[in-house]
Amino acid sequence: MLDNLANINGLPQYIRIRESIRERILSGELVRGEKLPSEDELAMVYGVSRMTLRQSLADLIDEGLLYRKHGVGTFVALQQFARDHTVLRNFIETSKEEGLNVEEKLLDARLTSAKFQVARALNLEEGDKVVCLKTLRILEGNPITIHEAYFDHVKFSDFLEGNIEELSKDLLAYYESKGYKVKRGIQRLEARSIENDIAEILQIDESTPLLYKERTLYTAEGIPVEFLYCYNRGDLYSVTINLTT
Amino acid sequence: MLDNLANINGLPQYIRIRESIRERILSGELVRGEKLPSEDELAMVYGVSRMTLRQSLADLIDEGLLYRKHGVGTFVALQQFARDHTVLRNFIETSKEEGLNVEEKLLDARLTSAKFQVARALNLEEGDKVVCLKTLRILEGNPITIHEAYFDHVKFSDFLEGNIEELSKDLLAYYESKGYKVKRGIQRLEARSIENDIAEILQIDESTPLLYKERTLYTAEGIPVEFLYCYNRGDLYSVTINLTT
DNA sequence: GAGTGGTCTAGACCACCCG
DNA sequence: GGGTGGTCTAGACCACTCG
């Protein structure tokens, strides 16, 4: 074995192969339900060892794009499982990708003291200084969601001195720029009756229920970064979730 | 290399090692935030090659129990990410595991014709025969959820002739016994106002919002198995979701 | 029995991080 | 420079499925 030609374009081979196979599926070259060539054969075709090829397949199987049958083969799944709300993505960017008209309006940004629930989620003491950021999201002209985010003033002390309007458009990027790259989160959803002040901001009457959400975001290490309350118009907003095993 | 002693107790080595490491974390032997021995060292300790050991770690990293830092080491995450509603599990069994008092009451089971939404989800034609199964779930004495499940009468023709009361307690097991092992699902959540007949069954008044859910279950191949409407009491029921990347 | 995926080895070199 | 994880190899044997 000489050398691996891995970094021809800076990417590991298994990623290039994975994306090549994904492309062949999404383009329709590989039809749903169709059997792929065997792992041995694919490894040969792509010029890698079988272990490397299996690394490519593993990711696609995890996504639900492929499935394996022991002793039979590897197949393209019949159903594509779309991106969903279990993947953390920037709301404004993804909505724009989908061709939707989105605005975000800054409602409030200030320094405050952590109440019990916020403190517990962020692993702080009650009364510790936190930044509170309230925004309103407007989809196709309809106010749809109020966000009330909290994060540690010690970790993110320069937020309120920056261009808040700009920073709040991509908080995940801001967190990362401070060394806190968000990797995981836990969220909890409830149906709730609407409260007065929220009905007013969302411009709906009190019979419309709210899809209420609490969310905590963490780094890979498990450090809590943000705690969020989220009030969504029940009649316009739904949450899609992929389930496994 | 002689032979692999893999199947000493019927399990692959990487699974035994994975569970051993998981146990050491959950038992507190490995403390949160602590650095694990290097992969080379762990491989030596467990008497396997490094690639095999990495297979063990990969699963634990995926779960969020561990995280890696390139050039630094592998660490135990600070935050444990609990089991959640993105994992498909049997409701009655899991509730009992948690020490909760659960009952399930059969409301209705009959053959019917698929309406548009059901037909689309199950990949059938409108009017095709489907089984409709309605159940009520009661948690600690409170009616909490109405389930309205639909599945293909052709695939599951003997359901209505069986012991429905018994079969409906573990539909996933029933589906699997017919050769349809559920592997994935897509669900959608909304907040909704309550309707008359549902308010009556759940014994709540009409000001209580509903957490409404639609769900389709699929095999690994992507064959739709079940479509479900689910009406949850908003004031007693919440859904927890883990997010990644 | 032939073909497939499942597991495993004993190395190798690279990229990254730290002192 | 030394230690770590990231990628990759060129094989091997096993377990499963099907004709």
Q: What is the pLDDT of residues A170-205, one digit of tens each?
A: 999 999 999 999 999 999 999 999 887 888 888 888
What pLDDT is attached to residue A125? 97
What pLDDT is attached to residue A26? 93
A242 to B185: CB separation less than 8 angstroms, yes or no: yes
Give domain status of residue B83, yes or no: no
Same structural domain for residues B118 and B219? yes
What's the CA angle centered on B223, arms B172 and B90, to 5 degrees? 15
Hey, which residues does B189 pair with through a beta bridge?
Answer: A239, B213
B22 touches strand C (CB under 7 A): no
What pLDDT is attached to residue B5? 40
Q: How many residues does chain A have?
A: 245
Same structural domain for residues A52 and A100? no
Q: How far is CA A178 from each of CA A199, B117, B169, rounded to the nearest angstrom?
A: 35, 47, 50
- What Å value separates CA A36 and C1' C15? 33
pTM for the whole thing? 0.91
Contact yes or no for A148/A120 (Cβ under 8 A): no
Angle between helices A39-46 and A13-26 (to 10 degrees): 110
CA distance B55 to chain A (A): 11
Q: How far is CA A174 from each of CA A90, A106, A166, rounded to the nearest angstrom?
A: 12, 16, 10
* Residue A240 with chain B: CB contacts under 8 Å: 186-189
CB atoms within 10 A of CB B163: 9
Same structural domain for residues A96 and A196? yes
* Residue A209 with chain B: CB contacts under 8 Å: 191-193, 209-210, 234
The residue segments making up the domain with residue A54 are 6-76
* Ramachandran quadrant class, A176 (left: phi over 0; alpha: psi -120 to 50; beta: rest): alpha
Give domain status of residue A139, yes or no: yes
Tell me the mean pLDDT in the region A110-117: 98
Among the listed residues B82, B74, B40, B44, the one whose alpha carbon sits nearest the alpha carbon of residue B57 = B74
HEC secondary structure over chain A: CCCCCHHHHCCCHHHHHHHHHHHHHHCCCCCCCCECCCHHHHHHHHCCCHHHHHHHHHHHHHHCCEEEECCCEEEECCCCCCCCCCECCCHHHHHHHCCCCEEEEEEEEEEEECCHHHHHHHCCCCCCEEEEEEEEEEECCEEEEEEEEEEECCCCCCHHHCCHHHHHHHHHHHHHHCCCCEEEEEEEEEEECCCHHHHHHHCCCCCCCEEEEEEEEEECCCCEEEEEEEEEECCCCCEEEEEEC
Give domain status of residue B81, yes or no: no
Among the listed residues B197, B130, B79, the one whose alpha carbon sits nearest the alpha carbon of residue A121 = B79
Burial (CB < 10 A; 0-12, 13-18, 19+), residue B116, is exposed
CA distance B21 to chain A (A): 17
Among the listed residues A146, A194, A127, A220, the one whose alpha carbon sits nearest the alpha carbon of residue B69 = A220
Is the Cβ of B183 closer than 8 Å to some Cβ of chain A? Answer: yes
CB atoms within 10 A of CB A163: 9
Same structural domain for residues B113 and B177? yes
Same structural domain for residues A106 and A199? yes
Which nt is closest to the CA of A74, judged by C1'? C5
If you measure CA to CA, which chain A residue comes closest to B78? A222
Nearest to B184 among A64, A88, A218 (CB): A64
The contacts of residue B76 (CB under 8 Å, 6+ apart) are B25, B30, B31, B32, B33, B34, B36, B65, B66
Which residue gives the smallest C-alpha to C1' distance to D4?
A: B71
Q: Kindly state the tokens that stand for B39.
A: 């992969």
Q: What span, in angstroms and rounded, lies between the C-alpha atoms of A80 and A187?
A: 24
Q: How far is CA A205 from each of CA A133, A146, A196, rounded to the nearest angstrom?
A: 25, 15, 9
What pLDDT is attached to residue A132? 98
Is the Cβ of B192 closer than 8 Å to some Cβ of chain A? Answer: yes
- What Å value separates CA A10 and C1' D19? 46
Same structural domain for residues A55 and A123? no
- What Å value separates CA B13 and C1' C7? 8
Is the Cβ of B145 closer than 8 Å to some Cβ of chain A? Answer: no
Nearest to B185 among A207, A210, A243 (CB): A243
Give domain status of residue A107, yes or no: yes
Domain boundary among A22, A48, A76: A76
Same structural domain for residues A96 and A164? yes
Same structural domain for residues A72 and A128? no
Q: What is the CATH number of the domain that holds B54?
A: 1.10.10.10
Same structural domain for residues A39 and A96? no
Same structural domain for residues B173 and B53? no
Q: What span, in angstroms and rounded, lies between the C-alpha atoms of B30 and B24?
A: 6
Give domain status of residue A207, yes or no: yes
If you measure CA to CA, which chain B residue comes closest to A241? B187
3 state SS of B105: strand
Q: What span, in angstroms and rounded, lies between the C-alpha atoms of A72 and B92?
A: 35
Same structural domain for residues A130 and A218? yes
Could you read off the pLDDT of B35-50 as tens digits, one per residue?
A: 999 999 999 999 999 9
A78 to B239: CB separation less than 8 angstroms, yes or no: no
- What Å value separates CA A54 and C1' C3? 17
Greatest Cα pair distance, chain A, in angstroms, is 71
- What Å value separates CA A22 and C1' D13? 31
Q: What span, in angstroms and rounded, lies between the C-alpha atoms of A179 and A167?
A: 15
A154, pLDDT greater than 60: yes
What pLDDT is attached to residue A1? 32
Q: What span, in angstroms and rounded, lies between the C-alpha atoms of B29 and B19?
A: 14
Same structural domain for residues B216 and B95? yes
Tell me the mean pLDDT in the region A9-31: 93
Contact yes or no for A181/A197 (Cβ under 8 A): no
A232 to B81: CB separation less than 8 angstroms, yes or no: no
Report the number of distinct structural domains present in chain B: 2
Domain boundary among B27, B42, B76: B76
B221 to A67: CB separation less than 8 angstroms, yes or no: yes
Which nt is closest to the CA of A12, judged by C1'? D7
What pLDDT is attached to residue B120? 97
The sign one gets for the Cα dihedral B32, B37, B40, B45 is negative
Tell me the mean pLDDT in the region A97-102: 87
Is the Cβ of A190 closer than 8 Å to some Cβ of chain B? Answer: yes
Domain boundary among A52, A76, A100: A76
A191 to B192: CB separation less than 8 angstroms, yes or no: yes
Give domain status of residue A81, yes or no: no
Give domain status of residue B61, yes or no: yes
A241 to B86: CB separation less than 8 angstroms, yes or no: yes
What pLDDT is attached to residue B83? 73
Give domain status of residue B82, yes or no: no
Tell me the mean pLDDT in the region A162-176: 94
Q: Kindly state the tokens that stand for B7.
A: 């199947």
Tell me the mean pLDDT in the region A28-32: 93
Mean pLDDT of chain A: 91
What pLDDT is attached to residue A9? 59
Which residue gives the smallest C-alpha to C1' distance to C4?
A: A71
Low-confidence ranges of chain B (pLDDT < 70): 1-9
Q: What is the CATH number of the domain that holds B201?
A: 3.40.1410.10
